[in-house]
């Protein structure tokens, strides 16, 4: 069984290399002359030539690629065209707030999603159940940028209860709106999954046995049913990290949340290619390893998945 | 194709009437889905309405979507402008109707392209196996290694702005799932006796793939493609919202929303209606797709992994 | 050579006369009751934190290479000073230099420096700091523009610690104005030794009223009172600057009181904000000219009739009334009212019929009835480039598109990111794909000659990159001759006369589609005083204070 994990882990490295290459190529063929970016609107041809030489843009593509790889191995993702900060430092300094936001979103999704799902399953086919299901469907269909703007219109502009921009402060009121916007689709998914999982488990033999033993309903649900129903939820949580990370770009941009999502967006609008490259790489490497971890974890939980 | 001899082996019936009745059976199956589930029918109706609006939109739109009437800018909903006017004094309803064509077009074309290339990639990989399989699946792995929105953002930021780029960027993010699904279903069926027999008598690989294997994989692919379309619409709108999609004054929904953002406080309708259109359309597609999936569940479960 | 000595006081007065009379126009009748300078009820109170929402992300605060415009210069003014300061009234005042004089031939400028100034890192301010300042601006690593390098200055002498002599080869009319530009903000010379030339903008160390405590580029900047400020103890304990690119978000932050000052609030929300007893709106006429530059290399824009037709085709009155809610002025000269030597010439008033007639005269007529004029079977299609970061540029672009369509011109719009805008609009000659583009100039030093030559003087070389902002390759030898004369003229009155001629020539040639100058709207909380706005679009915060 460890053979599967080993194979799965080994494959990550060539994939990572391919991802790096792809990102390098995409940005290499981007329109516009990187040498002019950061020079300001009016530049002289000498300045442009100097910048080209400094950035090594005159070298053959292969040399640039090899240089890019060697630097990357030593943990150097280049420096921003605009601010001249090292990209790695930029990412690391912005990372904590993105982690904070992502973590809060996961926490909120799990708590709200699981409890809504469990209650829904227990009170199947009641008004509550239908309400939850409808809310879940709506939550899943709402683009998070729109939800973010609606929340701002309601809670910031009209009610003036909550701030419309997120600050780094740990003050809870800054976190509420961004977290809600980011986690809405995930809450919906988890609620539906939990409900489906619970329904399946509730009717299974061992739960019936537990009931027959005379265990209280609450104990049956929490001790026996929930535990099994949560296995797919955990998996989905890991896999949904991808869309959560994608969502951070939008949500952080709207709420001026100083994380790497906003960094990516401003990098793109400033054509700051080293920053874009760095953040895209960072996102995909994180995502790749999380997916790997989920796969491995899941293969322990459910050996059937070891296909091939 | 016409030169290919029809297989005549006993116990192997792959003639036209047979596959025709299979199709009928499938249609009946789909029909049963709608009859059985109100939510699915609702989703299907909403989807259908949006498609009809996309086709008829320009004909029924009360105003020219690009007609600038600066003196009427940012007006709330009224009898004349049922959804109000935007920051250029244009009729929001008319722009949404024209935008429906762009949003559905982008979604359909991007998913269509993804199905085309994804299925070609996945099916051949599954069928031929070996090195090609490995190459194709690594390619899919690479695409799956990116969070899909991040991949779309990275792609579109280096393409010339415009609808075509939007389609390409969204399409690439939809491709890997479809390729995997196609490969899985081919793998599951390619060792069936009738396929082996067809090969023995020299039926071309192409014919086997197109006529025997792919039709079997249709249901899960249709479901996945439907569910994928909802995601494609959100992705496209998100790119538009981030200012990475189409150029002004193209009435793409995400871009409309993005431009209205400055006026959120005094004219929230400029932000509310385009978002509502996106959410409703995605709702339709997803409930429809969910319904399809639920009724075809056994097959999907077998093939998804 | 005998230098005519002028005392600081008389000199300042002289400059006041030269520019002051021309400043009247900046108080146009449209100005709201809230005066530009806040009525301070009492003596400035001390203490408190001022939170400011600015519109541009600030990525670097090196005066030679500012990243974040126009918010960056405003912040720079808090951190350090220049030898000569320009006030919000556009008059010149002594700053780090206590006095200055020019030689009779106008080629040598001697500055006497203050001797009581210390940078935030403890380095004393001396003539060496001025030298280091210019050396940094001229460091090839920095790749600063020619005006930042101040190429006209050919020698810098520092006879003693508190004297600087700057020489130019030719007399240079706008010399003092150049010295007041934000690029001339002087930073600690020690920082140039400590940090790499490119990274120095991440570690701004000045001599100004506030010093940097924490700088997170593009995210936030925290400043603290400089207790040893030579100009007296600054009022505020702290100033926190956060970039909020979305205008409505800035207004909302002001409403909720999360920020005390919001740069550039949307005009649509002005009435609502003014109705709020806790908020005051400051409005300032700006010098920022905005238009659309024509590409003379793209026929038919080499035809003056076509350029005139475009100028007549745009309904600028409606544009200003609606998109800018009246908070803008229609250009009536290549110079903004308030600039030295400004002369009102007249407007190209909205006249679509005249525009059509001019197009027809130039051979453009709709022969196939598709609504687009054509010539030799070719319909009139062209592309307009703009960048969305510029206030209301998308709206303006769509107005151009819509109005030009009414005279039969099909204008395609193309939004380009600000970062690659220069590269797109100012490539080597012949590679510019656009027929027109958004172009504007903010004369940050208040110098008219500077601006006019930047955009309208012929490029010295007929090929390659445009020398400065003349990316449309407009060229008029008569105008070039007038520029040469004005450039050398140190006498303010004669220069003003030359400038008048220059404006007439440019205005008539119409190398731009002349548009507007939009007002600057800044929202402040009622308890904040001393905030003002420079007509060159920069916030003036160094005298701000807060009632608690």
pLDDT of residue B52: 94
What is the spatial distance between Cα B81 and Cα B97, in angstroms, rounded to a whole number?
13
| B192-220 confidence digits (pLDDT tens) | 778 788 888 888 888 888 887 888 778 88
Closest CA of chain C from B168, distance in Å = 20
Q: Is the model more confident about B18 or about C266?
A: C266
A295 at interface of C, judged by CB pairs closer than 8 A: no
Nearest to B158 among A29, A288, A305 (CB): A29
Any CB–CB contact under 8 A between C247 and chain B? yes
User: What residues in B contact A145, CB-CB < 8 Å?
Assistant: 237-238, 241, 254, 257
Contact residues on chain C for A80, CB-CB shorter than 8 A: 59
Q: B266 and C415 in contact by Cβ < 8 A?
A: no
Domain C289-518 has CATH 3.30.420.40: no
What residues are paired with C222 via a beta bridge? C214, C240
Interatomic CA distance for residues A19 and B134, integer angstroms = 16
Provide the domain limits for residue B168.
39-304
Band of pLDDT at residue B297, cut at 50, 70 and 90:
low
- Residue (of A272, A276, A271) closest to A261 by Cα position: A276
- Torsional sign, CA A253, A256, A257, A263: positive
Task: Tell me the three state secondary structure of residue A77.
Answer: coil
The answer, for C424 touching chain A at a CB cutoff of 8 Å, is yes
- 3-state secondary structure at position C80: coil
- C425 touches A: beta carbon within 8 Å: yes
Q: How many domains does chain A have?
A: 1
Q: How many residues does chain B have?
A: 305
pLDDT score for B205: 83
Full-model pTM = 0.86
B142 part of a folded domain: yes
> Which region, left, alpha or beta, applies to residue B146 given φ > 0 means left and ψ of -120 to 50 means alpha?
beta
Distance from CA of B121 to the nearest CA of C (A): 36
Name the nearest CA neighbour of A45 among C465, C468, C432, C423: C465
- Whether residue B31 lies inside any domain: the answer is no
From chain B, the residues in CB contact with A19 under 8 A are 142, 145-146
Determine whether domain C63-208 maps to CATH 2.60.120.10.
Answer: no
pLDDT of residue B23: 65
Q: What ipTM score was computed for the predicted complex, to two decimals?
A: 0.88
Contact B172, B155 (CB under 8 A): yes
A13 domain-assigned: no
C415: closest chain B residue by CA? B247
Which alpha helices (DSSP H) does B61-162 contain, by range?
Answer: 92-128, 130-144, 148-158
Q: Encode pLDDT of B176-195 as tens digits.
A: 999 999 998 888 887 777 87
C415 close contact with B: CB closer than 8 A = yes
> How is chain C split into domains, by residue range?
63-208, 289-518
Assess B247–C contact: CB distance below 8 Å, yes or no.
Answer: yes
Question: For residue A70, is it within any domain?
Answer: no
Angle, helices B269-295 vs B297-304, to 10°: value is 90
Closest partner residue to B70 (CB to CB) among C269, C322, C413 is: C322
A134 Cβ contact partners less than 8 Å away, ≥ 6 residues apart: none
CATH number of the domain where residue B98 is located: 1.10.3720.10
pLDDT (average), residues A142-159? 90
What share of chain B in percent tops pLDDT 70?
85
Q: What is the pLDDT along chain C (548 residues), one digit of tens a residue?
A: 344 444 433 333 334 333 333 333 333 333 344 444 444 456 788 999 999 999 988 989 999 988 888 899 999 999 999 999 988 888 889 999 999 999 988 899 999 999 999 999 999 999 999 999 999 999 988 888 878 899 999 999 999 999 999 999 988 878 888 899 999 999 999 999 999 998 899 999 999 999 999 999 888 999 999 999 999 999 999 999 999 888 888 998 898 888 999 999 999 899 899 999 999 999 999 888 899 999 999 999 999 999 999 999 999 999 999 999 999 999 999 998 888 789 999 889 999 999 999 999 999 999 988 999 999 999 999 999 999 888 899 999 999 999 999 999 999 999 988 877 888 888 889 889 999 999 988 877 667 887 888 899 999 989 988 888 899 999 999 999 999 888 777 777 888 888 999 999 999 999 999 999 999 999 999 999 999 999 988 999 999 999 97
Q: For residue A34, is it within any domain? A: no
Q: Which residue has the higher pLDDT, A57 or C394?
A: C394
pLDDT tens column, A3-52: 777 887 888 888 888 888 988 888 788 777 777 776 767 777 888 888 88
CA proximity to A156, closest of C246, C249, B261: C249
Q: What is the pLDDT of residues A166-220, one digit of tens each?
A: 665 567 788 899 999 999 999 998 998 888 888 887 777 777 777 777 777 777 7
Domain count, chain B: 1
Q: Give residue C183's pLDDT.
A: 93
Q: How many Cβ pairs within 8 Å bridge chains A and C?
A: 114
**CA separation for the pair A36, C245 (Å, rounded):** 24
Note the pLDDT of residue C190: 96
**Residue B122 pLDDT > 50:** yes
- Is A56 inside a domain boundary? no
CA distances from B19 to A300, B14, B190, B215 (A): 42, 7, 17, 9
Q: Which residue has 């936030």 as its token pair?
A: C220
Spatial contact of C329 and C320, defined as CB atoms under 8 Å apart? yes
Q: Is some CB atom of chain B closer than 8 A to the CB atom of A250?
A: yes
In C6-94, DSSP assigns E strands to 49-54, 60-62, 65-67, 84-86, 92-94
Paired tokens of C332: 């009536």
Average pLDDT over residues B145-163: 88
Query: What is the residue range of A165's domain?
Result: 96-269+286-301
Domain-located, residue B18: no
CATH classification at residue A209 = 1.10.3720.10
Which structure tokens are listed for B195? Answer: 């396929």
Q: Which residues contact A25 (CB under 8 A, 6 or more apart)?
A: none
Whether B265 and chain A come into contact, CB under 8 Å, resolves to yes
CB-CB neighbors (< 8 A) of B271 in chain A: 146, 149-150, 153
A37: distance to nearest CA of chain B, Å? 15
The answer to the question of residue B236 being in a domain is yes
pLDDT of residue C42: 63
Q: Which of A151-160, A207-216, B148-157, C361-370 has the lowest mean pLDDT?
A: A207-216
| Cβ atoms of B163 and B103 closer than 8 Å | no
Interface test with B, best of A145, A200, A282 (most B CBs within 10 A): A145
Kind of pairing between the strands at C163-168 and C153-160 = antiparallel
Q: Which residue in B52, B99, B136, B155 sits closest to B275, CA to CA?
A: B99
């Amino acid at each position: 069984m460890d053979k599967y994990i080993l194979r799965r882990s080994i494959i990550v490295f060539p994939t990572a290399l391919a991802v790096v290459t792809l990102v390098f190529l995409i940005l290499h063929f981007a329109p516009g002359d990187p040498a002019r970016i950061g020079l300001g609107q009016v530049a002289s041809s000498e300045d442009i030539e100097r910048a080209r030489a400094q950035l090594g843009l005159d070298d053959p593509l292969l040399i640039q690629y090899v240089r890019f790889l060697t630097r990357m191995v030593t943990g150097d993702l280049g420096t921003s065209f605009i601010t001249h900060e090292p990209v790695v430092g930029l990412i690391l300094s912005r990372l904590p707030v993105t982690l904070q936001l992502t973590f809060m979103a996961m926490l909120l999704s799990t708590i709200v999603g699981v409890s809504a799902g469990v209650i829904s399953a227990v009170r199947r086919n009641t008004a509550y159940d239908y309400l939850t299901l409808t809310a879940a469907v709506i939550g899943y269909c709402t683009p998070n940028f729109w939800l973010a703007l609606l929340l701002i219109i309601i809670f910031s502009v009209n009610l003036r209860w909550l701030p419309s921009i997120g600050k780094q402060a740990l003050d809870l009121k800054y976190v509420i709106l961004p977290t809600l916007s980011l986690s809405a689709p995930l809450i919906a998914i988890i609620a539906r999954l939990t409900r489906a999982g619970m329904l399946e488990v509730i009717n299974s033999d061992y739960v019936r046995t537990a009931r027959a033993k005379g265990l209280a309903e609450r104990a049956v649900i929490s001790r026996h049913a929930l535990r099994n129903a949560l296995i797919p939820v955990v998996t989905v949580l890991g896999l949904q990290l991808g869309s959560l990370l994608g969502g951070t770009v939008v949500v952080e941009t709207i709420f001026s949340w100083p994380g790497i999502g906003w960094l990516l967006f401003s990098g793109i609008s400033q054509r700051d290619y080293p920053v874009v490259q760095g953040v895209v790489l960072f996102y995909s490497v994180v995502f790749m390893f999380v997916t790997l971890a989920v796969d491995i974890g899941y293969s322990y939980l459910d050996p059937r998945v070891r296909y091939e | 194709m016409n030169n290919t001899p029809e297989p005549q082996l006993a116990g192997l019936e792959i003639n036209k009437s047979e596959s025709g009745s299979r199709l009928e059976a499938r249609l009946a199956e789909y029909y049963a889905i709608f009859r059985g589930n109100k939510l699915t029918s609702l989703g299907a109706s909403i989807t259908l309405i949006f498609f009809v609006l996309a086709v008829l939109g320009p004909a029924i739109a009360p105003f020219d979507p690009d007609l600038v009437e600066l003196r009427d800018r940012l007006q709330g909903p009224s009898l004349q402008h049922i959804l109000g006017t935007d920051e250029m004094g244009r009729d929001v309803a008319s722009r949404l109707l024209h935008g429906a064509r762009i949003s559905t077009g982008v979604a359909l074309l991007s998913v269509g392209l993804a199905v085309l290339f994804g299925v070609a990639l996945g099916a051949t990989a599954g069928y031929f196996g070996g090195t090609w399989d490995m190459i194709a699946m690594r390619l899919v792995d690479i695409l799956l290694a990116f969070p899909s929105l991040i991949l779309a953002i990275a792609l579109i930021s280096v393409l010339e702005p415009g609808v075509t780029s939007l389609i390409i960027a969204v399409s690439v993010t939809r491709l890997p799932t479809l390729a995997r699904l196609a490969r899985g279903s081919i793998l599951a069926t390619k060792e069936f006796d009738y396929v082996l027999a067809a090969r023995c008598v020299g039926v071309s690989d192409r014919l086997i793939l197109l006529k025997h294997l792919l039709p079997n994989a249709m249901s899960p692919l249709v479901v996945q493609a439907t569910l994928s379309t909802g995601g494609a619409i959100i992705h496209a709108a998100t790119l538009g919202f981030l200012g990475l999609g189409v150029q002004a004054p193209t009435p793409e929904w995400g871009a409309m929303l993005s431009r209205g953002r400055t006026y959120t406080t005094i004219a929230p309708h400029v932000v509310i209606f385009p978002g509502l259109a996106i959410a409703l359309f995605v709702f339709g597609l997803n409930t429809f797709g969910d319904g399809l999936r639920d009724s075809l569940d056994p097959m999907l479960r077998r093939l998804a992994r | 050579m005998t230098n005519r000595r002028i005392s600081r006081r008389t000199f300042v007065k002289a400059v006041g006369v030269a520019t002051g009379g021309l400043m009247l126009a900046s108080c146009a009748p449209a100005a709201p009751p809230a005066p530009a300078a806040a009525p301070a009820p009492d003596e400035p109170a001390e203490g408190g934190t001022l939170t400011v929402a600015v519109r541009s992300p600030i990525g670097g605060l090196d005066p030679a290479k500012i990243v974040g415009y126009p918010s960056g210069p405003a912040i720079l003014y808090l951190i350090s000073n220049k030898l000569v300061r320009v006030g919000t009234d556009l008059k010149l005042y002594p700053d780090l230099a206590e006095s200055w004089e020019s030689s009779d031939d106008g080629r040598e400028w001697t500055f006497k420096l203050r001797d009581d100034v210390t940078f935030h890192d403890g380095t004393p301010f001396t003539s060496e700091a001025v030298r280091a300042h210019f050396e940094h601006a001229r460091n090839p690593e920095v790749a600063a523009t020619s005006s930042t390098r101040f190429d006209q200055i050919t020698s810098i002498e520092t006879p003693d610690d508190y004297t600087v002599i700057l020489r130019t080869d030719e007399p240079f009319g706008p010399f003092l104005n150049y010295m007041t530009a934000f690029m001339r903000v002087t930073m600690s010379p020690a920082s140039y030794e400590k940090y790499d030339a490119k990274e120095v903008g991440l570690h701004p160390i000045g001599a100004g009223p506030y010093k940097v405590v924490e700088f997170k580029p593009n995210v936030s900047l925290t400043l603290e009172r400089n207790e040893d400020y030579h100009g007296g103890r600054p009022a505020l304990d702290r100033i926190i600057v956060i970039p909020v690119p979305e205008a409505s978000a800035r207004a909302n932050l002001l409403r909720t009181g999360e920020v005390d000052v919001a740069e550039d609030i949307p005009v649509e929300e002005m009435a609502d904000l003014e109705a709020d007893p806790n908020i005051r709106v400051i409005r300032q006429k700006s010098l920022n000219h905005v238009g659309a530059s024509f590409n003379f290399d793209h026929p038919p824009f080499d035809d003056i009739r076509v350029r005139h037709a475009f100028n007549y085709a745009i309904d600028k009155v409606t544009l200003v009334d609606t998109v800018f809610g009246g908070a803008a002025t229609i250009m009536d000269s290549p110079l903004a009212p308030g600039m030295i030597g400004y002369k009102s010439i007249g407007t190209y008033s909205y006249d679509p019929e005249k525009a059509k007639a001019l197009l027809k005269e130039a051979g453009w007529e709709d022969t196939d009835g598709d609504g687009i004029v054509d010539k030799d079977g070719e319909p009139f299609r062209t592309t307009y480039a703009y960048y969305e970061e510029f206030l209301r540029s998308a709206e303006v672009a769509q107005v151009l598109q819509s109005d030009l369509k009414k005279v039969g011109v099909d204008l395609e719009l193309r939004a380009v990111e600000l970062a690659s805008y220069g590269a797109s609009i100012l490539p080597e000659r012949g590679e510019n794909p656009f027929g027109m583009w958004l172009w504007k100039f903010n004369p940050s030093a208040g110098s008219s000659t500077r601006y006019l030559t930047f955009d309208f003087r012929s490029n010295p070389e007929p090929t390659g990159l445009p020398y400065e902002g003349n990316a449309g390759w407009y060229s008029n030898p008569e105008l070039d001759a007038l520029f040469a004369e004005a450039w050398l003229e140190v006498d303010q009155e004669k220069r003003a006369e030359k400038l008048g001629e220059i404006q007439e020539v440019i205005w008539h040639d119409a190398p731009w589609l002349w548009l507007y100058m939009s007002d600057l709207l800044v929202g402040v909380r009622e308890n904040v005083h001393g905030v003002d706005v420079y007509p060159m679009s920069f916030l003036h915060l160094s005298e701000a204070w807060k009632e608690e």
